[in-house]
Amino acid sequence: MNRWPTLLAAILLACLPQEVFAQIGAGTVSKLGGSVSIERAGRSMPAALAMPILIGDRIETFAQSSLTIILADGSEISLSESSSIVIDRSMVGTANADSFINLFKGRLRSVVNPRGGSFPAFEVHTPNAVVGVRGTDFETEYIDGKPCPGFPKCSRYTDVGVYSGVVEVRNPTSSKPSTVRVSSGQETTVPCELPPATPGPLGMGDLTAPGYH
């Protein structure tokens, strides 16, 4: 398969001025509940159904609010209440769209759409973790200001739970960089500057435990 068109698109996008790059569409709001804010070019506006989302938009949900976005390649991301993300890059118009999402707080569920029998490059970044997709359906949550279970001196951590497929998780801030593969039905925790914990059964930790967050 000829990969030059995709490679050329990536090079051209990387060379675009920041103000032009920010105007590229990343997706569209498909579901909306409660109060959600979109910050674009220094201005804040309320989210609305069918509203285009651009690269660089900062999206923030408030209490009892949620938002779902259909990305350009058909993948779906859902933001829970009291959460905040920025879609840094979403390559449109190519066979394999690439998405890189920064999760600053709260919980994000990602359902990645395969194209041509393979998955696009899709990563979720938190302040202390990078989650790379090798599967379809997973959830990422970043917690700041609460003790991490098992690491009482750590008050910021990332939880990753996989519902279908496989993801790879690493901590770029760790002095001992290592990557763990988390399969369907498993979860892991990334505490502070430490490597990801050995994956365990989904629901054994705090990602889905009621009442903790």
Q: H or E stretch including 59? A: strand 58-61
What confidence score (pLDDT) does residue 44 get? Answer: 96
Collapsing DSSP to helix, strand or coil, 6 comes out as helix
**Domain boundaries of the chain, sorted by first residue:** 4-126
pTM: predicted TM-score of the whole model, two decimal places: 0.80
DSSP 65-111: -EEEEEETTS-EEEE-TT-EEEEEEE--SSSS--EEEEEEEEEEEEE
What confidence score (pLDDT) does residue 113 get? Answer: 77
Per-block mean pLDDT, blocks of 10 residues, the chain (213 long): 44 47 80 96 95 95 97 90 88 55 96 70 91 85 93 94 93 89 95 94 60 37
